[in-house]
Each structure stands twice: as structure tokens, then as C-alpha cells.
Amino acid sequence: MAANISHEMRTHAPGEDVLTARELYRFYRAGEEETLALRGVSLRVGRGETVAVVGPSGSGKSTLLACLAGLDEPSGGEVRVNGVRISHRPETERARLRARYVGVLLQTRNLLPHLSLRDNIRLAQRAKGRGPATSPRELLSQVGLAERAHALPRQLSGGELARAGLAVALANSPAVLLADEPTGELDSDIERMVLAMLRERAADGCAVVIVTHSDQAVRVADRVIALMDGTATDASAAHGGRLEGQEVRDATG
């Protein structure tokens, strides 16, 4: 319901939180097996801020990202993007809010296989529906793929796919960018390029969340949140680099 959504919209001052998650729980049942993947995770990410989410396999990182993106519904708690509640809505409304406010980079999964790179970008821009958009040509050139506009995803190398996924994630000029292992299998030059682009977006005011195992990615973050068995703690103090001397905000909000 568009009326409800616009009614809830707010304008945010620089630095204000644009992504908030409050007391997120995610419970899975598969046959006899029950898993509590998120156990009361709260998180705030401000405009222009980059947060890295780290943690061992199975700690809940992808589940958290999916809930933040509105791709999955938390069993309890609430997610707001740009002041608008994205959780606990029908899937079509979540998809519409995501198209408007959120860029999601899930390795190759944000590319439709039967569309060229240019058309993947156009589709993301059409889904957003309004507002200024960077041209597909410009986006592809930013990620070094200007020559591959007409290629299908299956015709790309792993590094090219990662960059194409980033171009699509940025196509709607998102207020919030959520990236799951954006540099997972990239060589270090391309990893640096992808991280530099994420930082640029943050400098433009985007709130960026990166799920990562990469030390390089952790180093570009303003804050680090560690997940363990579905529980989040602020691990910024345990990491050096950019984090030193910066204000450490409570991961639990």
C-alpha cells in the first residue's frame, strides 16, 4: 500500500540511522530440527557508515543480511530502512521497498541469467520506479565492464560477475547497501576496487553493511559486528586500522 509507505517516510539528517534492526529473532524448523539462527540482534547503521559483519560459519550472518534486506522475515523484531518498516509485510511490499531503498549484493544471485548486464541494470532501475538514475553505461564503466554491457551473466568470469553484481546492486542508488561476501573469490586488485566502490557509496551517504571473512573488507569498515550463535557484539575494538580512535557504538543499539 503505497499510501502507508509514503506516510511512514522520513527525511534523515546526515549521519542519522538509515538502517535499524531491533531485537531480531529467526527461528527455523526443518523436520525435527529447530534452529534459532538470530537471538535478539539489534543494529543501527547511519548514513555514510560502513559496518562489517563477521563470524564463523553458521553464526547467522546470511540470515541477518536476508532479514535486513526484506528477503526473509524475522520471526520476531523489526527492521526499518530510511524510517520505513520493511519487516512483517507481504512479500510484494517488501520487494517494492527493497527496490526503492536497498541494494543487495548476493554474489551472483542478484543477476537474472537470461538478461544482459545492461538489461539487469535497467530492470533494477525500473523496479525502483522514480528518482534520478545513473545510466547503465556509466555504472558498468565504474566497475570496469563498459565493454560487457551485452554479455549474459554466464559469459562472465568470477571477478566480472562480482563486479556486475555490484553494478546491479547500485543501480537503484540505494540508501542502504547490503553485501554478502562481496569480495569472496576475488583477487586482491579487484577486491580493492570493489571495496573502494563501497567506500565511495558510503561517502555519498549510503549506509553499507558487508558480511565478510576478508581482513581487507574489515579494515575499510567504520565498525565491526561479530555474530556468534545468533548473538551480536560490537567487535570494533578488537580490530585496528580505520577503527582506531573512532567512536564505538553499541552493536545492540
Ligand X SMILES: Nc1ncnc2c1ncn2[C@@H]1O[C@H](COP(=O)(O)OP(=O)(O)OP(=O)(O)O)[C@@H](O)[C@H]1O
Residues at the contact surface with ligand X, assessed by CB under 6 A? 28, 30, 35, 37, 55, 57-63
Return the number of the residue (68 or 145) whose C-beta is nearest ligand X.
68
Q: How far is the CB of 209 from ligand X (least distance, A)?
A: 13
Residue closest to 180 by CA, chosen among 217, 215, 140:
217
Q: How far is the CB of 212 from ligand X (least distance, A)?
A: 10
Return the number of the residue (11 or 57) whose C-beta is nearest ligand X.
57
Return the number of the residue (55 or 77) whose C-beta is nearest ligand X.
55
CA–CA dist 253, 249 (Å, integer): 7
Q: How far is the CB of 51 from ligand X (least distance, A)?
A: 15
Residue matched to cell numbers 580505520: 242
Q: How far is the CB of 246 from ligand X (least distance, A)?
A: 25
In 10 A of CB 188, how many CB atoms? 10
At position 110, the amino acid (one-letter code) is N
CA–CA dist 102, 150 (Å, integer): 25
Q: How far is the CB of 233 from ligand X (least distance, A)?
A: 14
**3-class secondary-structure state, position 92:** helix
Residue 198 Rama label (left phi>0; alpha psi -120 to 50; beta): alpha
Return the number of the residue (169 or 226) whose C-beta is nearest ligand X.
226
Return the number of the residue (35 or 134) whose C-beta is nearest ligand X.
35
Q: How far is the CB of 184 from ligand X (least distance, A)?
A: 10
Residues 6+ apart with CB under 8 A from 95: 70, 127
Return the number of the residue (17 or 180) whose C-beta is nearest ligand X.
180
DSSP for residue 106: -
Residues 6+ apart with CB under 8 A from 77: 21, 22, 23, 24, 25, 38, 40, 41, 42, 87
